[in-house]
Amino acid sequence: MNRQQLIELIKRKHSFLCVGLDSDITKIPLHLQGNDDPVFEFNKQIIDATIEYTVAYKPNLAFYESRGLEGMISLQKTMQYLDQFQNECFTIADAKRGDIGNTSTQYAKAFFDKTASGFNFDAVTVAPYMGEDSVSPFLKFNDKWVIVLALTSNKGAADFQLLADSNDVKLFENVLRTTSKWGTPANTMFVVGATRAEMLSEVRKIVPEHFLLVPGVGAQGGSLEEVAKFGLNHDCGILVNASRSIIFASNEPDFAEKAKAEAISMQQQMESLLKAKGIN
């Protein structure tokens, strides 16, 4: 999915919601546990319940890789199921990869080259610590996106990301300035945590046109209104991820209905915020 298609999808659904499929098998409702593949069945029902209100899905690879081959089969089946909605959603592999160039090339094939790996994600999250040659292999695929970790919402982010140099330039600001030159707003996004919403205005001064993937709204306490206030641009320019607050809204047989209700609530808020910004 290219940039214009993503923008059109946001406008059509009046939503910039990304649902994180952090499908922890220990939290799957008990009535699904006897299923041959409870994680896939859970994901399938979450997707069916939320697809009308959601523009993106983001499986967190840790919850699949930790289960070995069975987990990767669950992920593959989930992505194959999403294939039928290819014009209805943007897909993100939350993998946080980053390594030397030849290794990153293999990671890129793993997520983007369906012939090689069976996976055909639209985007992958990448850690830029090792520099340009660790990120550039992902940018060689047409209509695919790199989502660079910039300013995250976890407590440990302050250990490095907020450190300033002698010119009082913070590390995350250097990351934004440097990595934005490796790609373009058509193939590069940045992760900026919702719990750092007040810093989004500083982020926007550096990357006014790029899309931002914003986790931390919902269970982590981030404010959707604050994110929109500081992060929205003329094309919308943000995807707000919600995981636990939607997919684990209930652990009873009504889990899909409760997930749908949470997605609708967020979509309605997003529609109002988009209208206030003049994005229709």
CATH code for the domain in which residue 48 is found? 3.20.20.70
How many CB atoms neighbour CB 240 within 10 A? 27
Radius of gyration of the chain (CA): 18
Sign of the CA dihedral running 196, 198, 204, 209:
positive
Q: How many domains does the chain have?
A: 1
pTM to 2 decimals?
0.96
CA angle 253, 36, 254 (to 5 degrees): 10
Where in the sequence is the domain holding 91, given as residue range(s)? 3-276
Q: Which of 27, 77, 96, 109 is catalytic?
A: 96
Q: pLDDT tens, position by position, for the chain (280 residues)?
A: 999 999 999 999 999 999 999 999 999 999 999 999 999 999 999 999 999 999 999 999 999 999 999 999 999 999 999 999 989 999 999 999 999 989 999 999 999 999 999 999 999 999 999 999 999 999 999 999 999 999 998 889 899 999 999 999 999 999 999 999 999 999 999 999 877 777 899 999 999 999 999 997 765 567 899 899 999 999 999 999 999 999 999 999 999 999 999 999 999 999 999 999 999 8
CB 188 within 8 Å of CB 182: yes
Taking the C-alpha atoms of 28, 29, 31 and 37 in order, what is their torsion angle to the nearest 10 degrees?
-20
Does the annotation count 109 as an active-site position?
A: no
Q: What whole-number distance in Å separates Cα of residue 149 and Cα of residue 213? A: 9
Nearest CA among 172, 96, 173, 101 for reference residue 132: 101
Place of tokens 């293999």: 106
Place of tokens 């910004």: 277
